[in-house]
Structure 1
Amino acid sequence: MTTISKETLEFLSLLSENNNREWFQEHKETYLKAKDNVDAFAQQVIDGFREIEPQIPGELTGKKSVMRIYRDVRFSKNKSPYKLNFAFYISLSAKGVHSPGYYVQLQPGNSFIAGGMWMPDAPHLKSIRQEIDYNGDDLLAILDSKSFKTYFKDGLSEEDKLKTTPKGYDADHPNIELLKLKSFTVSYPIKDEALYNKGIISEVINCFKEIMPLNSFLKEAIASV
């Protein structure tokens, strides 16, 4: 059973203090060892989760799901060349297609499991709001379930939530607070020590399992877009 090694987080800690190309090249072998650790971890998560989530594309592997550590600095004021985390994403659709999914971030003091749909584009957002308008009780049932709240007691993230009502909806709509959302994601923090535990694969998969009804709701909402 693959766990995240202490050396992987130690590499990220050192990278946060030495975020430059010269240091990275000098420690490339350490980076590659850490990357292999994350690839193997992601693969075990995918293999286990695929048994209960058949919508995961068959071609997705752990290595393919792990995001690049290199930052795109072309349009950013922050010119640091490297991200300070490893992360992997399990999409429910083919590469390049915006859809709900599952995400794990690995970073010293800031690791978490997440899922849902982050900042959907305008057509998808419109469809999700329409689904909430028509079938909001279905979404509330998911968010209010006891098992869901075990992991996500704060519910959906309110990142970039509208301060006013979205166009086409009244302020007294029973689900207006959900309709104001621009992202539909949840997250669950993980302590560094938990990543070293042999039970971490099961923990991630169990967390993903609770996200599945949310992702099914979102995928159904955008199916016609």
Structure 2
Amino acid sequence: MITRPTLDFLAELKANNNREWFDASRPRYQQAAADFFDTVARFIQVLASYDPDIAKVMPDPKSCIMRIYRDVRFSKDKTPYKTGLFAYVSAGGRKGPLAGYYLHLEPGASFAGGGLYMPEAPVLARTRAAIDSRFDEWSAIVTTPDLLATFPDGVLPSGATKRAPKGFDESNPAIRYLRFKGYCTQRFFSDAEVLSRDFTDRLGECCRAVMPMVAFLNDAINSDMF
């Protein structure tokens, strides 16, 4: 489970984002990383209890967790470390093309959800085609009471086009979603919720609500891909 020292470490890292401080605090980072690994491992177990695709592959928690080191080669921001811990659980792997579930841990800004973030063009084309041809099904999924109760903002775009994408008309009933460049949901958790003993159960309830959307997206991707 997540402990107070883990949140304290991340808060202090944000205020001391430099190699000297990090090196001096490495034992604290290692403990925070162990806490997060344990939480992600439990998260995967909960996901596998209702998502058959996750149960089939049972991802290694280590392969789902992003590195804390930032890639600063092409960034004006040269701070070397991310100030939160992030994991992405998908049947296709963290770097694969499939939709999945995610957990971001950061003091005062922790969140979880499910979806497909900024996919490559061929994958996005498949999801748009599926939403267009199966819009009644998609609409029913993304407006269910369970999803909207968990994610009041509904499905959010990870970027969007200003005009209708090529091949679609502005009058298309699905045009709102066809403009999206990705499909995400987001539910924030307070630090008190993160530190609670039932946090992974809450994560499971959160992601269970978005599982039908994840399944729809992956069915669209897999139909032409594998």
When the two structures are superposed, what TM-score results if normalisation uses the length of structure 2? 0.95
Shift of 1:159: 3.7
- 2:171 matched to which residue of 1? 172
Q: How does 1:1-225 map to 2 (within 5 A)?
A: 3-56=1-54, 58=57, 60-94=59-93, 96-223=95-222, 224-225=224-225
CA separation in 1, counterparts of 2:29 and 2:95? Answer: 27
Aligned letter for 2:3?
A: S
Aligned residues: 223
Q: Percent identity?
A: 35
3-state DSSP class of the match of 1:222?
helix
Tell whether the 8 Å contact from 1:102 to 1:116 is kept in structure 2 after alignment. Answer: yes
Q: 1:133-182 deviations in whole A, cap 9, x for unaligned?
A: 10011111011111111111211113421111111111111111111111
| Unmatched runs of 5 consecutive residues or more in structure 2 | none
Change (3 A) 1:86 1:94: closer
Aligned letter for 1:169?
A: F
Of Structure 1 and Structure 2, the greater helix share is in: 2
When the two structures are superposed, what TM-score results if normalisation uses the length of structure 1? 0.95
RMSD: 1.3
Tell whether the 8 Å contact from 1:136 to 1:175 is kept in structure 2 after alignment. Answer: yes
Shift of 1:95: 5.4
CA separation in 2, counterparts of 1:69 and 1:95? Answer: 15
Aligned letter for 1:211?
A: V
Tell whether the 8 Å contact from 1:41 to 1:62 is kept in structure 2 after alignment. Answer: no
| Unmatched runs of 5 consecutive residues or more in structure 1 | none
CA separation in 2, counterparts of 1:206 and 1:38? Answer: 19
Aligned letter for 2:43?
A: V
Tell whether the 8 Å contact from 1:39 to 1:62 is kept in structure 2 after alignment. Answer: yes
CA separation in 1, counterparts of 2:58 and 2:212? Answer: 23
Tell whether the 8 Å contact from 1:44 to 1:62 is kept in structure 2 after alignment. Answer: no
Q: 1:47-87 deviations in whole A, cap 9, x for unaligned?
A: 12212112125352223322110111111111110000011
Change (3 A) 1:188 1:95: closer
Shift of 1:29: 0.3
3-state DSSP class of the match of 1:55?
helix
Aligned letter for 1:122?
A: A
Shift of 1:222: 1.1
Q: 1:169-223 deviations in whole A, cap 9, x for unaligned?
A: 1111111111111111111111111011112111001111111100111011111
Aligned letter for 1:176?
A: I
3-state DSSP class of the match of 1:103?
strand
